[in-house]
Amino acid sequence: MPKEKNKEKLILDAAIRLFTSKGYQATRMSDISQEVGMSKGLTYFYYKNKEDLFMALTKKAFDQFKDEFREVYLSKGKTGLEKITDLVIRVVDFASKNQILYDAIINFMDLVKKYNQEESRKEIDPLILESQHFQKLLEIHHEPAKFGVMMVSQGIKDGSIRPELQPEITFYTIWSMIIGFEKMLGPVGYDGKEVKINPESLQPGFLKLLQDMLKGTIQASKPATVQTSLF
């Protein structure tokens, strides 16, 4: 029945809305059921518990995230380097428009780190480990990156990226930069007297450095441009 899938989606969307406006902690399960207009019990029928719901949200986040990566990868008439540049912009945009989804992705990265360390795995809430969504996420969380790696590979082939670079390492380095850049947007936004930069001034320089880091000898006829209309 598509009915059920629908209910599940309604709950998830309500959760996203509420987590976004009030935060995860501050949102009560009852708020969510109320927002959807169903009983608490039914919510629990679809999602085993709050953690499970959040893991489902995280799964959705990764799916959407992968779509972003895929779209950029499949965009026509661009060099690999241009796609990488586009990706940075898209990810930052995604983060600002889907704050809670992006947070869920970052949170999942922390979770994976703990999961991979024998001594800190016990710190993870058992309910998370039990969630089927979590298990699924362990399988698929590398998928967005695969498109990224392919972009780098393409860049090497089309000469926009230096041929001596190793695609995986290069892409994960790029991803590091993206993640850090997004986090950076908070502090540099601080309007302190002594701070000379802000998000608007940081972005072009950041992209320029990223391109410098990557670019090969063969330039695209139209050099990788930096959009400034982002923020």
125-132: long-range contacts (C-beta < 8 A, 24 or more apart)?
A: 125/51, 127/48, 127/49, 127/50, 127/51, 127/52, 128/51, 128/55, 130/48, 130/52, 131/48, 131/51, 131/52, 131/55, 131/56, 132/52
> Can residue 45 be called a binding residue for DNA (CB under 7 A)?
yes
Stretch that binds a second copy, among 45-53, 54-62, 73-81, 183-191 (CB under 8 A): 183-191
> Can residue 74 be called a binding residue for a second copy (CB under 8 A)?
no
Per-residue contact track with DNA, 47 to 66, x per CB under 7 A?
A: -xxxx---------------
Binding test (CB under 7 A) with DNA, winner from 17, 20, 44, 184:
44
**H or E element: which one contains 81?**
helix 80-97
DSSP string for 8-63: HHHHHHHHHHHHHHH-TTT--HHHHHHHHTS-HHHHHHHSSSHHHHHHHHHHHHHH
Residues 126 to 155 in contact with DNA, rule: CB under 7 A? 127
> Can residue 184 be called a binding residue for a second copy (CB under 8 A)?
yes
Binds 51, which of a second copy, DNA, none (CB < 5 to 8 A, cut-off by type)? DNA
> Can residue 7 be called a binding residue for DNA (CB under 7 A)?
yes
Q: How far apart are CA 52 and CA 37, in angstroms?
A: 20
> Can residue 26 be called a binding residue for DNA (CB under 7 A)?
yes
Binds 118, which of a second copy, DNA, none (CB < 5 to 8 A, cut-off by type)? none
- For residue 199, give both structure tokens: 């998000």
* Least spacing, CB of residue 126 vs DNA, in Å: 10
The set of residues, in sequence order, having a beta carbon less than 8 Å from that of 181 and lying 6+ positions away, is: 88, 92, 202, 206
Binding test (CB under 8 A) with a second copy, winner from 29, 127, 129, 179:
179
CB-CB neighbours of 202 under 10 Å:
15
CB-CB neighbours of 179 under 10 Å:
16
- For residue 75, give both structure tokens: 């965009």
Binds 163, which of DNA, a second copy, none (CB < 5 to 8 A, cut-off by type)? none
Question: Total binding residues for DNA by CB under 7 A?
Answer: 21
Binds 42, which of a second copy, DNA, none (CB < 5 to 8 A, cut-off by type)? DNA
Owner of token pair 């719901």: 53
Binding test (CB under 8 A) with a second copy, winner from 158, 168, 226, 230:
168
Q: Which residues bind a second copy (CB under 8 A)?
A: 21-23, 26, 106, 109-117, 123, 138, 141-142, 145, 165-166, 168-170, 172-173, 175-181, 183-192, 194-197, 201-202, 205-206, 209-210, 212-213
